Amino acid sequence: MAAAEPSLTQLLREARQGDRAASEQAYAHIYRWLHDAARAQLRRGAEHATLTPTALVHEAWLKLSSADFEINDRQHYLAMASAAMRHLVVDAARARKSEKRGGQLVRVTLPDDGVPASANEVDVLSLDAALGQLEALEPRLASVVQYRFFGGLTEVEIANVLGTTERTVRRDWRKARAFLHRALSEAA
Amino acid sequence: MSTGTDRTVQAHARGRRALALFDELADLAPADRAPVLDRLKTEDEALFAEVVALLSADESDGPLERPLSDWLTAPEPMPERLGPWRITGVAGRGGMGAVYFGERDDGQFSQRAALKRIRLGMDSPGLRLRFLRERQILAALNHPHIATLLDGGVGDDGAPYFAMERVEGQPLGRWCDERETTLAGRVGLMLQVCSAVQYAHQNLVVHRDLKPANVLVDAQGQVKLLDFGIAKLLDASASGGTTRERPHTPDYAAPEQVAGGPITTATDVYGLGATLHELLVGSPPRRAGEALWQAAQRATDDDARRRGFSSKVALERAVRGDLSAIVQRCLEAEPNARYPSAGAVAQDLEAFLQGRAVSARSPTRGYLAWKFVARHRLGVAVAAAVVLAVGGSAASALWQASLARRAAAEAQAQLDYLGSLLQVLSPSTAEARELDRSRLVTEATRRARAELADRPESLASVEFALAKVAQNVGDLPQALALADSAYERRVALVGRDAVASAEVQVLSAVLRARVSPPRFAEAEQLMEAALAVLRRRAPGSVTELEAVVQRAWLAGEQEKVAVEEATLAEALARCEGPLADTPICEEAWLVQGAVASRSHLPEVALKALLRAADAKSRRLGPDHASTLNVKSMVAWAQAEAGDLAGGLAVADEVYQAYQRIFTQPTETSLRAGLRLSRLAKRSGQHERALMLVDEYLVHARRVFGEHNQNTVLGLSDRASLLFGMGRFDEAASEFERVAAEYAAIDNRLNAALTRSYAADSLREAGQAARALPIGTEALATLRQSYPKGQHVNLARVLTNVARTESLVGHHPEALAHHAEAVAMHRALQPTSSYTAHARAFEGEALFAAGQRAEGERVLRAAVAELSASKTASPNMYWEPFAVLTTVACANGAADCDTLKAEAKAQLEAKLAAGTLSRLRAAVR
């Protein structure tokens, strides 16, 4: 890594002061790191990969931040990392879906795919779409899902990032969850 | 536009209100929610519906409960190649691996395939061997409704892959639904599936994972079954150490599969039933005991319409009766209660299509009479009058006749199934000695004995057939028990003095000679008795000829040379007659070839093997594994007969054919490679020979394992090659290694022989003093190992030890050993060139011991005798020639310069390094 490259902490600070370029750079940084780490983890685990977003996101922070961070930097980071995790999962699903296209004429099955192999990808994409609907309706509920489900943040962390109480986070989660489950069961 | 936006705004407003109401109601007990909801229902029905939906979504588990890892299965990077296949795209991914598209291009053909890679390690050589053998069997399946397995192997990462014929088609269920195929059309497709499954069962391959998704249908309505036998390969590797739970397809799995019981052809009959179930009513079988028509009640009207019915009630009615009975019989929990074969399922499906009685239904009088009426609507009006006239008796006769016909049809089906087991194991698959296959034979036997108990004639034929199958799969004890049982049955039926009994007796005799330990005395007695019957009852028949050939083989096994030769002569004479084209004559010629090459009659051997190869090529095709195997023997015989270049060319051709046809080595292809290596060595192409033997070793280590005798054979060849190339130090240590391998498996004879070669290598490396004790010790062991005290190997070792002794100056011992060697060669084969060769070195020893003139005289005589085999075995001539030149010149012979000139001319020839260094020494 080039020595001149600014640290994530520095980028986040500049982003908070309104520097869009710094914000994008920080996001790209986080995304790339999470992407590589998730891949490595899945490759290692091969079959029983346990991709825990919490561990990934926190590990990334430890690796990327410098010691001089402020509490605001960290909260900013957690929000960005959650968004990055969501995009990462969705991008992977899209990639696989397009890879599959063209292969539709010929279906060759594996012994265990009584469940269509594509079920997971469809789910991720429809979850993303439903989350988009929720965003239009109640943006804060959508954020809670992004932080908790994709970012793996705890209720306390979410409450800190959003500047609300834990109780509110819990109630938001319950509403968001009902909304999404319903939207997804309708889609299916 | 604006109304659209308004509607969106409205919907959003309602969505937000619904969420707010949900938030209020969620923590309330259901009873407390009711008044709010009731009021809401009358005020705003749409909002009410949304809130209720949210409340019920709140109570159920949903996708957000699944951990994120479940959402992300790591896409394996697409490999560039798998074995010989270039990967061109991804067809799909599943939990156990991925399916790719691939192409293979070897300049002449290009082939496309679907490649399946499975994420399982195959770590032990045993597993891999089993995998490769099984793959060979699967690849031999050749049926229009089975997607052919083209290739398969184990990738660098230990994950197995399969290359299958690429099928352009749709899964069975979807194909039918899109075309709104009628029930009859669906049953017709199942008939194709049954024929494929029946064919595979006759080849002792069980699918194990039959389900609609494994059946593709192409645009022409032709069915292709995928993944035949692959589930078993996975099981094989799983049981070999992987403890991971195997995902299966519970909807279609037979009870014995779920319970971990033995898998038989009945397992596939269950799979056929489950597939048929889904095809007919749109869902796989759910509960044990639920009939097909009951399951049809769960279908939708849409499902019914896609099958050509107006409603699901009509569908339910249509599948009541025959179809329900057929499916039910397939799905019986007890394997023995199911149809005995896929062919029997097909028969009932055909009967259904033609409106005939199906065997699955209990033959109640009413059912059969109804069937009869349905089939002969016109004639029945007339017949009814007759029935009325003669009362119940005609109806009763009709029922009896039908029952008898049904029983006969079933017995025939039974025989077709079991009887066809006889032909199924073709020569190329006979190497597969599979535990599972012998269990399948056991199972078939058990069934046959139960179901044919009252038909001893059929049972005897089936047992006879199964005995041959058991022999082919290498289960000799079971084969013998079956043959004996079949024999006893036939004797009880027709007596001993009958062809039917004698033909079984021949097999019994052969098996007695093949079991371990062999029971030769009994075998011979049975063989003679059987042959006597056949000579009297069936002179000139194929059965008699088979017995004659087997008798020759039996005599050969016991080294009864005279009987063997006489019997073989009779068989060969018979093969000049009208029976020349029967496969048994191929066997006769092979035996003739083996006998002739043992007797050092290479021309005779060559002629016999050529005939066998020619016949096999005509019968099985030039590229059949069995043809290639015989051709490879031809190559060797041709070289033995003096045509080294011709033999090398044929061996090369065979080797290339194997490379072209089999992408993975088999036992026979490896043997062919080793033969080619030896011929290359004899032709002086040492580098090529070394390359071939190294290649052999790579595969042999993988296929057979490190300490297997086939691998050791390659190591031993490699050591000989190094010796021939003059790399004596390396040769010595390689021979020592081989000797250690032989000692480890307690093969004292080969261990001693190999140690003597190590001693020769040391001598040639200039370490005669070190070589001597090793050679002497080996010689002592060999003397004990050859009970008659005479053997060509013993004679050779004597010569070699004597040469070492001569070098270190132990002249009396050297001369004694040389004399003994020459006498032994002469006694064993008076005319062979070995005697002259041994004599030449005796001459050298005489010269070294001071008998200079006598030494030269002996050498001259020996070299003159050896000149006949100059081209066939150049080293055997030129090494003694070099010694003669040295000795003659040292003695001041007149022809010294002529000899030197001749020796000099050979310095560029392709000869063994030892020979060349002697020639160089001679011309100096």
Q: Per-residue pLDDT tens for B346-392?
A: 999 998 888 877 777 655 444 444 444 444 333 332 222 222 222 23
pLDDT digits (tens, 9 = 90+) for B749-790: 889 999 999 999 999 999 999 999 999 999 999 898 877 778
Residue of B287 and B863 predicted with greater confidence: B863
Pairwise pLDDT comparison (B203 vs B564), residue with the higher score:
B564
Query: At B244, is the pLDDT very low, low, confident or very high (cuts 50, 70, 90)?
Result: very low
pLDDT for position B649: 93
Q: Which residues of B touch A47 (CB under 8 A)?
A: 119, 244
Q: Is B685 exposed, middle or buried (0-12, 13-18, 19+ CB in 10 A)?
A: middle
Listed ranges B204-213, B361-370, B517-526, B613-622; the one with the highest mean pLDDT: B517-526
Instruction: Compute the nearest-CA separation of A90 from chain B (Å).
Output: 9
Helix (H) or strand (E) holding B93: strand B85-94
- Which residues from chain A sit within 8 angstroms of residue B70, using beta carbons? 120
Q: Is the peptide bond between B517 and the residue preceding it cis, with omega within 30 degrees of 0?
A: yes
Alpha helices in B111-182 (DSSP H): 125-139, 172-179
pLDDT level of residue B394 (50, 70, 90 thresholds): very low
**B715–chain A Cβ distance below 8 A for any pair:** no
Among B141-145, B174-178, B313-317, where is mean pLDDT lowest?
Answer: B141-145
Q: Which chain B positions have a beta carbon within 8 Å of A95's beta carbon?
A: 75
Contact B90 A103 (CB under 8 A): yes
Instruction: Name which of B67, B68, B92 is nearest A107 (Cβ-Cβ).
Output: B92
Compute the distance between CA of residue B369 and CA of residue B371 in angstroms, rounded to an integer: 5
Cα separations in angstroms, B512 against B473, B524, B527: 16, 9, 10
Closest partner CB to A51 (pick from B19, B72, B116): B72
Given a cut of 50, the residues of chain A with pLDDT beneath it are: 1-3, 45-50, 101-122
B137 and B429 Cβ atoms separated by less than 8 Å? yes
Of residues B788 and B15, which shows the higher confidence score? B15
Query: Residue B860: pLDDT band by 50, 70, 90 thresholds?
Result: very high
Whether A111 and B114 lie within 8 Å, measured CB to CB: no
Q: Which of A93, A108, A145 sits opposite B91 (nearest CB)?
A: A108
3-state secondary structure of B525: helix
- Please, are residues B236 and B131 in contact by the beta-carbon 8 Å criterion? yes
Q: What whole-number percentage of chain B has pLDDT above 90?
A: 35
Chosen for mutation from A91, A126, A181 (greatest number of chain B CBs closer than 10 Å) is A181
CA dist., res. A183 & res. A134, Å (int): 10
When scoring A47, A51, A106 by the number of chain B Cβ atoms within 10 A, the one with the most, hence best to mutate, is A106
Tell which wins on pLDDT, B204 or B921: B921
Q: What is the mean pLDDT of residues B79-92?
A: 78
Q: For the domain bounded by B170-382, which CATH number is listed? A: 1.10.510.10
Q: Identify the pLDDT of residue B663.
A: 54
Quickly state the pLDDT bin for B429 (edges 50, 70, 90): very low
Q: What is the mean pLDDT of residues B308-336?
A: 88
Q: What is the pLDDT of residue A33?
A: 81
Question: Hey, are the CB atoms on A112 and B96 less than 8 Å from each other?
Answer: yes
B286 in reach of chain A (CB within 8 A) = no
Q: Which has more confidence, B168 or B331?
A: B331
When comparing pLDDT for B71 and B142, which is higher? Answer: B142
pLDDT tens digits, one per residue of B504-525:
999 999 999 988 788 999 999 9
Structural domain boundaries in chain A: 1-70, 121-188
User: What is the residue extent of each domain of chain B?
Assistant: 2-63, 170-382, 726-785
* CATH dotted code for A121-188: 1.10.10.10
Distance from CA of B726 to the nearest CA of A (A): 50
- Mean per-residue pLDDT of chain B: 80
* Mean pLDDT to the nearest integer, B23-43: 86
The pLDDT, as a whole number, for residue B534 is 94
**CA angle at B359 for the pair B354 and B360, rounded to the nearest 5°:** 110
Contact check, Cβ <8 Å, B230/A111:
yes
- Write out chain B residues lying below 8 Å of A177, CB-based: 57-58, 62, 64
Question: Any idea which of B209-223, B444-458, B597-611, B730-744 has the lowest mean pLDDT?
Answer: B444-458
A68 CA: distance to closest CA in chain B (Å): 32
- Is A107 within 8 Å of B171 when comparing Cβ atoms? yes
CB pair distance less than 8 Å for B169 and A106 = yes
CA distance linking residue A137 with residue B325, whole number of Å:
56
What is the residue-wise DSSP string for B345-367? HHHHHHHHHTTPPPTTS---HHH
Q: Is the pLDDT of residue B321 over 70?
A: yes
Please judge whether A181 and B58 are an interchain contact, meaning their C-beta atoms are less than 8 angstroms apart: yes
User: For residue B605, what pLDDT band results from cuts at 50, 70 and 90?
Assistant: very high
User: What per-residue confidence (pLDDT) applies to B397?
Assistant: 34
φ/ψ of B515, rounded to 5, equals -70, 165
Q: Can you give the pLDDT at residue B382?
A: 26
Residue B905: pLDDT band with limits 50, 70, 90: very high
How much of chain B, in percent, has pLDDT values that exceed 70? 81
Q: Within an 8 Å CB–CB cutoff, is residue B226 touching chain A?
A: yes
The helix/strand/coil state of B912 is coil
Q: Residue B155 pLDDT > 80, yes or no? A: no
Band (pLDDT 50/70/90 cuts) for residue B922 is very high
